[in-house]
Amino acid sequence: MRTPELTRGARRPGRSSQMRRSFTLTALAATVALAACGDRLDITNPNSPSVEGAAANPRDATSRQIVGVIGTFRGNLPGAYNGLGSYGRETYNMTPQDGRSVTGYYRDWRQVNSFGAGLNWGARYGNLRNIYEAKKLVTSTTALTATEKAGALGVLKTFEAVELYYVIISRPDIGAVAELTDNPNEVLPIVGRNEILARIVSLLDEAFTDLGTAGTSFYFPVALTYQGTAALANPVASFSAFNRAFKARVANLQGSLGIAGGYAAAQAALAQVPWFSTSANYSAGVYVPFSTAAGDVLNGISFQSNTNLYTHPQIYTGRSADLRYRAKIADGTIRTDCVTAAPRTLVGVTSDYRPCTYPTQVTPLPVIRNEELALIAAEAAGYPAGVATLTTVRTTSGGANAATVFPAPASQAQFIDELLVQRELSLFQEGHRWNDYRRFGFLARLASTAQDVAQGFTAASSSTLPQQECDSRARAGNPGGTPMGCAGGAAIPGAP
Give me the domains of the chain, ranges plus CATH numbers: 4-89+105-297+371-467 (1.25.40.390), 311-355 (no CATH)
**Res 9 pLDDT > 80:** no
**Residue 48 DSSP one-character state:** S
Per-residue pLDDT at 20: 36
Give residue 336's pLDDT band: very low, low, confident or very high (50, 70, 90): confident
**Arithmetic mean of pLDDT over the chain:** 91
Find out whether 193 and 133 touch, Cβ atoms under 8 Å: no
pLDDT digits (tens, 9 = 90+) for 414-441: 999 999 999 999 999 999 999 999 999 9
- SS3 call for 344: strand
**Res 483 pLDDT > 70:** yes
Q: What is the DSSP string of 303-335?
A: TTT-TTEEE-HHHHTT-TTSHHHHHHEESSSS-
Q: Comparing 319 with 50, which gets the higher pLDDT?
A: 319
Beta bridge mates, 224: none
Rounded to an integer, the average pLDDT of 478-483 is 96
- SS3 call for 286: strand
Mean pLDDT lowest for which of 1-10, 194-203, 364-373, 486-495?
1-10
**Residue 278 DSSP one-character state:** S
How far apart CA 398 and CA 447 sit, in angstroms, is 25
Rounded to an integer, the average pLDDT of 57-74 is 96
Residues 6+ apart with CB under 8 A from 244: 208, 269, 270, 272, 273
**Res 25 pLDDT > 50:** no
| Helices 25-35 and 122-140, packing angle to 10 deg | 80
Give residue 28's pLDDT band: very low, low, confident or very high (50, 70, 90): very low
How far apart CA 17 and CA 31 sit, in angstroms, is 20
Per-residue pLDDT at 49: 57
Per-residue pLDDT at 295: 87
Give residue 59's pLDDT band: very low, low, confident or very high (50, 70, 90): very high
285-288 and 365-369 beta bridge pairing: antiparallel
The torsion angle over the Cα atoms of residues 301, 307, 308 and 314, rounded to 10 degrees, is 70
**Res 48 pLDDT > 80:** no
Neighbour tally for 175: CB within 10 Å = 22
Q: Comparing 340 with 471, which gets the higher pLDDT?
A: 471
pLDDT digits (tens, 9 = 90+) for 200-215: 999 999 999 999 999 9
How far apart CA 349 and CA 136 sit, in angstroms, is 50
Per-residue pLDDT at 13: 33
**Res 40 pLDDT > 60:** no
Q: Which of 179, 159, 160 is nearest to 223 (CA)?
A: 159
**Residue 251: its H or E element:** helix 235-256
Reduce the secondary structure of 58-113 to three states and give it as a string. HHHHHHHHHHHHHHHHHHHHHHHHHHHHHHCCCEEECCCCCCHHHHHHHCCCCCCC
pLDDT digits (tens, 9 = 90+) for 380-412: 999 999 999 999 999 999 999 999 999 999 999
**Res 12 pLDDT > 50:** no
Per-residue pLDDT at 41: 40
Per-residue pLDDT at 258: 98
Rounded to an integer, the average pLDDT of 140-161 is 98
Rounded to an integer, the average pLDDT of 230-254 is 98
**Residue 336 DSSP one-character state:** T
Residues 6+ apart with CB under 8 A from 163: 73, 124, 125, 127, 128, 131
Mean pLDDT lowest for which of 8-12, 157-161, 260-264, 443-447?
8-12
pTM: 0.91
Per-residue pLDDT at 353: 95
Rounded to an integer, the average pLDDT of 277-290 is 97
**Res 486 pLDDT > 80:** yes
Give residue 496's pLDDT band: very low, low, confident or very high (50, 70, 90): low
**Residue 350: its H or E element:** strand 349-351
Per-residue pLDDT at 340: 81
Phi-psi region of 441 (alpha: psi -120 to 50; beta: other; left: phi over 0): left
For 8, 31, 272, the CA distances from 466, given in Å and listed in that order, are 12, 29, 38
Angle at Cα 40 formed by Cα 38 and Cα 41, nearest 5°? Answer: 80
285-288 and 344-346 beta bridge pairing: unpaired
Q: Which of 284, 288, 286 is nearest to 363 (CA)?
A: 288
Question: pLDDT exceeding 70 applies to what percent of the chain?
Answer: 89
**Res 231 pLDDT > 70:** yes
**Res 293 pLDDT > 90:** yes
**Residue 25: its H or E element:** helix 25-35
Q: Comparing 341 with 480, which gets the higher pLDDT?
A: 480
pLDDT digits (tens, 9 = 90+) for 337-370: 898 889 999 999 999 999 999 999 999 999 999 9
Q: Comparing 410 with 334, which gets the higher pLDDT?
A: 410
